[in-house]
Amino acid sequence: MQVILGIHPEPTITMPKKRVLMPFKDSGHEHQHCQHDAMQTAERVCAERGLRLTPLRRQVLQLVWDSHEPVKAYDVLARLQETHANAAPPTVYRALEFLQEQGFVHRIQSMNAYLGCGAASESHDSQFLICRDCGEVAELDDAEISDLLSRKARTLGFHIDNETIEIRGRCASCRH
């Protein structure tokens, strides 16, 4: 189905990219593992990059992953304050900024909210499917979509830095 255009100089053997980085919960997906895996990944990646996953940053990442859905900065702050009475807005925004920069969380622009990344160990594009009924979000990294957007942009002389793709609708289980 995928058309490889004759642009690339050599016909590489490509590992087909995993497309659904985070599925909807209904698809036999055990959420408990996500959080645990995400924490492990973050620890490992920070070690590799020589960055400090401080207790604060670790806890904020935990709090984001406590939910399978996008969470608001001030909700994270409220939870954080339960154990960290002097936490203030900058505390949370700084931690979230760090976590975003490292790709551990994504910001959902259309919701002013943050979501744990389903593939934190490597840089990638994202497309989000957001269910208007249950609030869950699936995260995709679909090369066909990114490639098509790149091609369309290039036609207009536009060079893409990054994509914000947030699709709102109803997920399979909410339609049943």
Partner DNA sequence: GAATTGACGTTACATTATAACATTACAAAA
Partner DNA sequence: TTTTGTAATGTTATAATGTAACGTCAATTC
Enumerate binding residues for DNA (CB under 7 A).
Answer: 51-52, 54-57, 72-74, 84, 86-91, 93-95, 98, 112
Q: Where does this chain touch a copy of itself (CB under 8 A) — which range of 42-50, 56-64, 84-92, 146-154? A: 146-154
Q: Which does 105 bind (CB under 5 to 8 A by kind): DNA, a copy of itself, none?
A: none
Q: Which does 145 bind (CB under 5 to 8 A by kind): a copy of itself, DNA, none?
A: a copy of itself
Footprint of a copy of itself on 89-118 (CB under 8 A): 109-110
DSSP state of 67: S
**Of 120, 20, 134, 126, the residue nearest 69 (C-alpha):** 134
Q: Which does 44 bind (CB under 5 to 8 A by kind): DNA, a copy of itself, none?
A: none
Give the nearest distance from C-beta 17 to DNA in angstroms.
Answer: 30
Instruction: Classify the phi-psi angles of 157: left when phi > 0, otherwise alpha if psi is within -120 to 50, otherwise beta.
Output: left
15 vs 156 by CB, closer to a copy of itself: 156
Footprint of a copy of itself on 5-24 (CB under 8 A): 20, 23-24
Helix (H/G/I), strand (E/B), else coil: 92: helix
How far apart are alpha carbons 95 and 101 in whole angstroms?
10
Q: Where does this chain touch a copy of itself (CB under 8 A) — which range of 47-55, 70-78, 82-90, 127-135? A: 127-135
- Say how many residues touch a copy of itself, by CB under 8 A: 36
- Give the pair of three-digit tokens for residue 46: 């920070």
- Residue carrying structure tokens 């996008």: 70
- Give the pair of three-digit tokens for residue 119: 């593939």
Q: Which does 134 bind (CB under 5 to 8 A by kind): DNA, a copy of itself, none?
A: none
CA distances from 129 to 61, 101, 102, 108, 138 (A): 22, 22, 22, 11, 5
- Residue carrying structure tokens 């590992």: 15
**Binding of a copy of itself at residue 170 (CB under 8 A)?**
yes
Kindly tell me the sign of the dihedral angle through the C-alpha atoms of 60, 41, 29, 134.
Answer: positive
